[in-house]
Structure 1
């Protein structure tokens, strides 16, 4: 989503614009969302951040556009954080050496905007660090369902900044809201979400964070409109469950003693 070609039609949730920009939300109770991951990304374009979420002790899900199309990329994942600017005892930090972008990800259409990062060593599960279940292939979240999104950083479009985890409630919308707004919206692989009053939103930099509905991760923050904050598009996790499972099996094989990649 970092391709400038897209900016003409849809303002992507550009990760370099600030980490976890939650609008109209509130500070989360510290460590109440122990699955949240903070991704610090460095490349030739500079340093920026994205969100993500732990789905297994060795795996974090996020958005492909956080790293796609960049060179000399270094990714650091922090788990167990509330105030990302403090060295909290609960935090676990990982320098990620391996990630997988969906093979059909398109920076132009924002389709298949999903990425899986491998943590090595595995995360240590604690009260502040644990994984969240994600939607299975047959599960769909219905319009009208109230879900939650969380992230770190700016809390308004003008750029007010916070370093603590913020959260906001957002409602799943009918597909027409997004098909009317976005040329490349695909209901099979995407979820339409937002606050019709235009007061609450995930915004730039929240990219990769989870849309949590009924205690499961159903979506991944992907992109939104150019000049407003409604509606927003999330990657539909349930559609990609088979791909996620296949990649997780590969992760397990890589950890075998006889695997060349485990050396």
Structure 2
């Protein structure tokens, strides 16, 4: 994949082509407000000053998110807000960065949930410190044991009435085994080896949380992808894109674009 020499704000729509099964892409329901700047790696992907999706800082100049977030933009451009707890209040370490390149995984697309990852190269390296930090990625391609309690955070809807928070929310969810998640009662065989599930019994990620990290034992294991039309539906566990299988692609893109 060649990304060198692309103009500022170039969008590489590899396979972004209508939505899979009618599901809302990305979907924190019945969670709680995070401590201020407790998660300094969190990013808000914004268009015209409005939050669209989540993401997280993985290197000083790179944010990882979900490719389907591009479907929610009008003109395919983002700015990235870092160092924020509140989206609206003045905060001394909050800063909005322009984006040099948006690079979706070439296998991603509107009509399926495969390869749902997006890399954003900031126009300049983020100023790291107490309020802005990177989050380590899982580098061992292994399954997270079922029942492991993992955390997901974001500024997405906090209820099915589309209430959106101003301050960062989080929820802790147990991982569901792929075998169980693929049962007919749940996702009926749709969950590939590059995906993972977390239970959604009333607590769930919700619309606007897409692209945020699923963090297990301090490591980013997955990226919020999709789930039920109604957040918190126990029959449709949240689906997350596993990160470890994509490390080669992530490293290649970040290396090529330097």
Is TM (by shorter chain) over 0.5?
Answer: yes
Who is 1:11 aligned against? 23
Moved over 4 A (4+): 1-5, 68-71
Who is 1:151 aligned against? 154
Secondary structure of residue in 1 paired with 2:192: coil
Cα distance in 2, alignment partners of residues 80 and 47 from structure 1? 16
Cα distance in 1, alignment partners of residues 71 and 162 from structure 2? 25
Secondary structure of residue in 2 paired with 1:37: strand
- 2:101 is aligned, of 88, 98, 105, to 98
Who is 2:217 aligned against? 214
Question: What are structure 1's unaligned runs of at least 5 residues?
Answer: 15-20, 253-263
Deviation at 1:13, TM superposition (A): 2.7
- 1:25 is aligned, of 23, 31, 49, to 31
Who is 1:245 aligned against? 251
Who is 2:41 aligned against? 35
Secondary structure of residue in 1 paired with 2:214: strand
Deviation at 1:156, TM superposition (A): 1.0
Secondary structure of residue in 2 paired with 1:164: coil
Cα distance in 2, alignment partners of residues 31 and 221 from structure 1? 20
Who is 1:191 aligned against? 196
Cα distance in 2, alignment partners of residues 2 and 221 from structure 1? 17
Task: Please report the RMSD computed on the Cα atoms of aligned residues, expressed in angstroms.
Answer: 2.3
| Mapped contact 1:40–1:47 kept (Cα < 8 A) | yes
| Mapped contact 1:28–1:167 kept (Cα < 8 A) | yes
Q: Calculate the TM-score normalised by the size of structure 2.
A: 0.85
Cα distance in 2, alignment partners of residues 224 and 131 from structure 1? 27
Q: Calculate the TM-score normalised by the size of structure 1.
A: 0.83
Map of 1:1-263 to 2, 5 A cutoff? 4-6=18-20, 9-13=21-25, 22-41=28-47, 49-68=52-71, 72-179=75-182, 180=184, 181-182=186-187, 185-195=190-200, 198-229=201-232, 230=234, 231-252=237-258
Question: What are structure 2's unaligned runs of at least 5 residues?
Answer: 1-14
Deviation at 1:204, TM superposition (A): 0.8
Query: Is the strand fraction higher in 1 or 2?
Result: 1
| Mapped contact 1:146–1:170 kept (Cα < 8 A) | yes
Deviation at 1:147, TM superposition (A): 0.2
